[in-house]
Homo-oligomer: A and B are copies of this chain.
Amino acid sequence: MERKIKIGLIGLGTVGSGVFKTLKNFDNVEVVKIAVKNINKPRNIEGLDNSILTDNPYEIVENPEIDIVAELIGGIDPAFDLIKKAIENGKHIVTANKELLAKQGEELFNFAEQHNKVILYEAAIAGGIPLIMPVKTILAGNKINKIEAILNGTTNYILTKMDMQGASYDDVLKEAQELGYAESNPTGDVEGFDAAYKIATLATITFRKRIRIENIYREGITKIRPEDMKAANDLGYKIKLIASGKIDDEGNADVRVHPMLVSQKTALAHIDYVTNAVHLSGHPVGEVTLSGPGAGEFPTASSVVGDILNISAEIGKSDYILPMMRCRHDEYANMIDISETKNKYYLSINAHNNIGVIGKIGTICAENNISLASIVQKCVSDDNTADITVITEIASESAMQNAIKLIEQDGSKVNSLIRVQV
């Protein structure tokens, strides 16, 4: 009989509780200490012995008995310091902290490597979906050059509801807040920060080049209108907040988060409500799509516990454990700025309804080397204006931005510009 691996948990909120309850099913691991904010808070967790609670997380990272520390509090401070101390003290780390990995991942992974410790973080990206470990292990023979993913449940819930109910962003946000699917300050989700943190780390390990969070173009969903949802449907698309990454053979990477018109023929278009999904393209595998719950007590616990069990199985077997799971990327990707990218575009334009307006838009686009895939004058409103929906062929972002300026100078209003999946 091998010895039990000793686990310390930092955090006993939603995720921590799920992890504690799940770990109880396994004989080879034992949670010996849990750091909480308020030690006296009543908790209804079966099998929890209050004597293992502490309100000082340093009692965990400095505890010589503990083999693995699971950091489940989120944020930078004090998580960053706690993880470094834990590594210094010889512990392996499991974390669900996407913000910390995106902002300080490089330092933490280098530090862990110097101390021959691993940091696993399956739960930090796409919750319960098996993603990070598969990318690092069974897909290791691949050169993956494209990621398209739905990584934020809140925004996907809002977009799904807007699509199904024809409702406005504001109304659906309010409903989502009442149901607990969106926070009272929803900025982190709806402006795409959360998805950007996740794609930063996911692209880094998938492309095997470091991606800096500050180089990720980010646009949220707050400007999406019910009219855009309707138009997208009519054209065979759905609007999703897509976290995407591409890398070319020279190592130039284009990583972003923004709303996207996604073809209804693709799996991502049918990922609804809080479900997450990740579509990977590469060679030799071709295309795979992984989908499942992106958050929640138990799905997140599945990933945290998976990481813990995998580290536990290796401890004592060898000094240098889990070689495939380590993160060592010396090089940074050369990042392509959004202004230098090429995209397909959906435009919704409100124009004075005069005979020449479609011709004018067509001419402005042509003069900027933008070919049009379709242009539809949808309806004439009471105020004698027309709504014109344009889908372009692939065009340069700078040309598109210039064309928009010219269209608006001409007196029309560009209500929406949303990029289209290619």
Contacts and interface: CB of A to CB of B under 8 A. Distances in A.
B291 A305 contact: no
Interface in A268-301: 270, 283-293, 296-299, 301
A296 B132 CA distance: 24
A142 interface: yes
Interface in A118-132: 122, 128-130, 132
How many copies make up the complex? 2
Contacts of A188: none
Contact of A133 (B134, B267, B314): B134
Contacts of A307: 138
A288 B138 contact: no
Interface of A: 18, 21-23, 25-26, 122, 128-130, 132-134, 137-143, 267, 270, 283-293, 296-299, 301-303, 305-310, 313-314, 317-318, 320, 323-324
A137 B288 contact: no
A25 B283 CA distance: 12
A285 B291 contact: no
A47 to B, nearest CB: 15
Contact of A134 (B23, B134, B267, B298): B134
Of residues A128, A132, A137, A296, which shows the largest number of chain B Cβ atoms within 10 Å of its Cβ? Answer: A137
Contacts of A288: 128-130, 290-293
A310 B140 contact: yes
Nearest to A264: B270
Nearest to A304: B141
B134 A285 contact: no
Contacts of A323: 313-314, 317
B310 A324 contact: yes
B141 A137 contact: no
A22 B282 CA distance: 12
A96 B208 CA distance: 28
Contacts of A140: 305-306, 309-310
Contacts of A137: 133, 137, 306, 310
A130 B128 contact: no
A76 B279 CA distance: 36
B291 A292 contact: no
B293 A287 contact: yes
18 contacts: A128-B285, A128-B288, A130-B130, A133-B133, A133-B137, A138-B303, A138-B310, A140-B309, A141-B302, A267-B270, A267-B291, A283-B298, A284-B298, A285-B293, A289-B290, A289-B292, A290-B290, A309-B324
